Amino acid sequence: MTTHSLLLLPGDGIGPEVMAEVERLVAFFNKNGKVQFQLDTALIGGASIDQSGTPLTDETLGKARAAEAILFGAVGGPKWDKVAYAIRPEAGLLRLRKELDLFANLRPAICYAALAEASTLRREHVEGLDILILRELTGGTYFGEPKEIVTLETGEKRAVDTTVYTTHEIERIARVAFDLARKRRNKVHSAEKRNVMKTGVLWHEVMTATHAREAQDVELNHILADACAMQLVRNPKQFDVIVCDNLFGDMLSDEAAMLTGSIGMLPSASLGAPDPKTGKRRALYEPVHGSAPDIAGKGLANPIAAIASYGMALRYSCGLVREADLIEAAIAGTLARGLRTSDIMQPNMRKVGTAEMGKAILAEIEKLAS
């Protein structure tokens, strides 16, 4: 039996609460005996700042490099509003993405049948929705230099962020987009702002060339990122894979999340390049929702995004497709039985907290697995 090594980084806010529900499922699989997970836990974000004055220690980074997959909770909160910008909680996550070169961020937005009414869009627009936002994660505005605030001679301040992309960075995310589309409905929309940004011009050029050279079997459409935001709420089902830069992907994925009913539903996978020897990719799995400080510690958070992220880890890092399918079916089944955390609460449904939702999903897994 293969043992899979997972590093848990619960982080801040609701992170530890939703991670506890993931651990509940891990314990079940371990007890069941068919697969074995070896867990390690480390600090990141505010929790790490509190202990060692930095949001990502070398120790955590070392564990992250060694793990087969990382399961991440959330970082940040008002408690750390005043820490220096360079060591704010979010910097820990950004550095982890960069150091591990996790350039491909997969954010699937799937609308479970039972939740079609929970979306702010009408049922016919979201029922059966299954789209994937592929966000470039280690370049663009997030990491470009200079990135600074300087004081001018007049005493006025001037802030700069720099958006940078190279051919190679666009090419490798394009390839991931085409590969993913081939396993889905074979359609890619590349979103950029070539009407305003030079990075958009290059993005469009490299997408077009990579497509012509390597992926003519896939349908490629170009769309301006603002139009894409509009079309996402106008007619989301026209999309299959949307590929875009780091900043547009941050925004479009939050928008796509709401189509599914709640941001509390969305998992994500951040993948590196395949290792030339083993073919394995470095990988970090995280719920798209943040640390939600307003509900942290109250047992109210929706654990589904974290549980679904664990499912993605099983599928993409551990090759455990059956177990991943089981988790997805159990989430759908639990929702169909009418259980709802408060973020997806609907009339005549049963409102439950974090742990109760986790236990119900586990019970559903046990039922389906037997």
Catalytic amino acids?
142, 193, 226, 250, 254
Binding piece for ligand IPM, criterion CB under 6 A, among 2-10, 88-96, 320-328, 362-370: 88-96
DSSP 78: G
Give the count of beta carbons closer than 10 Å to the beta carbon of residue 41.
Answer: 15
For residue 67, give the nearest of 322, 268, 305, 317 by alpha carbon. 317
Contact 26, 6 (CB under 8 A): yes
Taking the C-alpha atoms of residue 1 and residue 274, their distance in angstroms, rounded to an integer, is: 24
Show the binding pattern over residues 92-111: x = contacts ligand IPM (CB under 6 A), - = does not: -xx-----------------
Give least dist CB 159 to ligand IPM, A: 17
Give least dist CB 94 to ligand IPM, A: 6
Give the DSSP letter string of 87-155.
GSHHHHHHHHHHHTT--EEEEEEE--GGGTTTSSS-HHHHTT-EEEEEEE-SSGGGTEEEEEEEE-TTS
Q: Which residue is nearest to ligand IPM (CB)?
A: 90
Give the count of beta carbons closer than 10 Å to the beta carbon of residue 298.
Answer: 13
CB closer to ligand IPM out of 267 and 333:
267
Pairing of strands 36-41, 219-224: unpaired
Positions 39 through 98 that interact with Mg ion (CB under 5 A): none
User: What residue 161 binds from Mg ion, ligand IPM, none (CB within 5 to 8 A, per partner kind)?
Assistant: none
Structure tokens at 239: 């999309």
Contact 173, 136 (CB under 8 A): yes
User: What residue 164 binds from Mg ion, ligand IPM, none (CB within 5 to 8 A, per partner kind)?
Assistant: none
Q: Which of 40, 90, 214, 255 binds ligand IPM (CB under 6 A)?
A: 90
Give least dist CB 299 to ligand IPM, A: 23
For residue 357, give the nearest of 343, 368, 347, 370 by alpha carbon. 343
Pairing of strands 104-110, 269-274: antiparallel
Taking the C-alpha atoms of residue 26 and residue 240, their distance in angstroms, rounded to an integer, is: 31
Positions 284 through 313 that interact with ligand IPM (CB under 6 A): 290
Give least dist CB 13 to ligand IPM, A: 11
User: What residue 90 binds from Mg ion, ligand IPM, none (CB within 5 to 8 A, per partner kind)?
Assistant: ligand IPM
CB closer to ligand IPM out of 164 and 329:
164
Show the binding pattern over residues 229-268: x = contacts ligand IPM (CB under 6 A), - = does not: ---------------------x------------------
CB closer to ligand IPM out of 94 and 224:
94
User: What residue 40 binds from ligand IPM, Mg ion, none (CB within 5 to 8 A, per partner kind)?
Assistant: none
Q: What angle do CA 282, 200, 284 make, to 5 degrees?
A: 15
Q: Which of 250, 286, 323, 364 binds Mg ion (CB under 5 A)?
A: 250
Residues lying near Mg ion in the complex (CB under 5 A) = 250
Residues lying near ligand IPM in the complex (CB under 6 A) = 90, 93-94, 250, 290
